[in-house]
Amino acid sequence: MPSYQSIQESLILKPKTWLITGVAGFIGSNLLEKLLQLNQTVIGIDNFSTGHRKNLDDVRSLMSDKQWKGFKFIEGDDFHSINNINKMKNKSPLNDNDRDEWLQELNNELKQKSINTVLACSALKEKYRKKLTSGLDMNIFWFCLKGEYDFINQRLKNRNNHFFSSNLLQSQFDIIEYPNYCNFIDITESKNKIVELIKLKLLK
């Protein structure tokens, strides 16, 4: 198995394009920091349901201008239609038809930003993930932050000024399809351990 150091050297010699979903979360932002330090191109997506803009600001403060130009960010919720937003504000869960146009918009955006991008969104079903990545010519790494309902629900209740109510969480648990190709991360682990787990999975 290649060493951690040799993999880093290989990435520097042959940079790749990376897609990170949940880039504004603790894990996503630490992963972003490491990849940009290795002069990679990163596309990031987040809807700030549990992530924070400050995490991205902290990464920006550590990067050179050249490194930061390698990062493209997409906030998933920016692409929801007014109808979708109003529906969620009224505590009504979205269905497949509601999400279809949203996923297509995100896919189009990823194609236009086909350099280092991180995407964070609730790609709950396999058909959502297929539509999201259809036609993309890039290396894609999936990470699923997995936790118990009560733990995630409390995080949502602590969030302010977002149209997604914690009352809708059960509707997402009811339909989620966990992919067998995904890297699962237990969100109850310590922050440092979570970052190390992701680094190991990416670079092995």
> Does residue 83 or residue 163 have the better pLDDT?
83
Residue 76 predicted with pLDDT over 70:
yes
Confidence (pLDDT) at 197: 78
Element (H, E) at 92: none
Q: With residue 34 as reference, give the H or E element that holds it.
A: helix 26-37
Q: Which band of pLDDT confidence, cut at 50, 70 and 90, is reported for residue 203?
A: low
* DSSP for residue 93: -
Q: Kindly tell me if the per-residue pLDDT of 4 is higher than 60.
A: yes
Cα 47 to chain center, whole Å?
Answer: 9
Helix (H, G, I), strand (E, B) or coil at 73: strand
pLDDT at 114 over 60: no
pLDDT at 112: 77
Helix axes 96-112, 82-89, angle to 10 degrees: 130
Percent of the chain having pLDDT more than 70? 92
184: tokens are 């699962």
Provide the mean pLDDT of the chain. Answer: 83
What does the pLDDT look like over 115-140, one tens digit per residue?
A: 566 677 788 999 999 998 898 877 78
Could you count the other beta carbons within 10 Å of the beta carbon of residue 129? 20
CATH number corresponding to 4-203:
3.40.50.300
Closest CA to 168 of 187, 81, 159: 159
Contact status, residue 52 vs residue 24, Cβ threshold 8 Å: yes
